[in-house]
Amino acid sequence: MSVLTVGTVAFDDIETPFGRAEKVIGGACTYISWAASYFVNDIRLTSVIGNDFPNEEIKELESRGVNMQGLKLIENGKTFFWAGRYHSNMNQRDTLVTDLNVLDDFDPELPESYKDSKYVMLGNLTPDIQARVLEQLTAPKLVVLDTMNFWMDVAMDKLKEVISKIDVLTINDEEARQLSGEYSLVRAAEKIFEMGPKFLVVKKGEHGALLLAPNEIFYVPALPLAEVKDPTGAGDTFAGGFIGYLAKTDDISFENMKRAVVYGSAMASFCVEEFSLGKLKALDQEMISERIGKFVEITSFSL
């Protein structure tokens, strides 16, 4: 099935306790699309770049089945730039620079061929842009939305309006608490279901991910890794694996969502092992199957 991906395409400067990388390729839409490309080959990317963005990166995504008709190129524009530094606790980071550049007046107009997309992954962007994309879709089967605390701080009403129209919300534990006003994630989920979504994915970084639906809970741990180099993009890579697996299997039951969460976690576990897209570009189906096997191994017990 078709997957629509929406989000940033970016340059990142990244500093972690284990090294640094300058002006590397980043952006939610990039990570989502790369991760999803291991599951489906009808991916429709929606984003904006300046003419400083390397053409070979675009070609590479195209060669993986990613449609680039929805990638707007702004002549004489500069691509979105983000710089961040991770704490020794890699679950926390400081944003050093956010240069919106071409993103500043991005108004996504979907190509005609995108409008019938079935599986939709709205990466973290202003709720306005997310809403604009949604209203152009004719018959989406499943809409997943990622967002962050920043939009809760500055645009809560608009955010809640978009959230009321989606199926799956992916946020982290602190954001789930902020959005719902509830400390318990079980209670937070109940409140969020009242807002519209039927499923909630709570991303907890190195502590794994929770999938909740009314009266259903599934908790997949993160894979403990010998080396974590750069957590940037892990959440988006998770989302890409998640929606990619769902689109491939075209089954949105809770049982299948559980599998999708495991596949998303497996993709994210690769992402953090190298800076930028280093590891994500170098995968194959065998490596993914083997990694899934590790998730089975670390979570299995018999009574």
Q: Which residues lie near a second copy (CB under 8 A)?
A: 17, 88, 90, 183-187, 204, 207-208, 210, 212, 217-221, 224-228, 255, 258-259, 262, 292, 296-299, 301-303
CB of 219 to a second copy, least distance (A): 4
Which H helix or E strand runs over 97?
Answer: strand 93-99
Q: Which two tokens mark 74? A: 């702004």
CB of 177 to a second copy, least distance (A): 9
Decide if 252 contacts 223 (C-beta within 8 A): no
Largest interatomic CA distance in the chain = 63
Helices 173-180 and 185-195 sit at what angle, rounded to 10 degrees?
60
Ramachandran area for residue 5 (φ above 0: left; ψ -120 to 50: alpha; else beta): beta
Residue with smaller CB distance to a second copy, 103 or 210: 210
Residue with smaller CB distance to a second copy, 150 or 254: 254
CB of 86 to a second copy, least distance (A): 11
Residue with smaller CB distance to a second copy, 66 or 212: 212
Decide if 220 contacts 262 (C-beta within 8 A): yes
Q: Give how far Cα 278 sits from Cα of 87, 190, 217, 230, Å.
A: 21, 38, 33, 10
CB of 202 to a second copy, least distance (A): 9
CB of 227 to a second copy, least distance (A): 6
Residue with smaller CB distance to a second copy, 163 or 185: 185
Residue with smaller CB distance to a second copy, 104 or 250: 250
CB of 89 to a second copy, least distance (A): 8
Residue with smaller CB distance to a second copy, 132 or 204: 204
Pairing of strands 209-213, 216-220: antiparallel
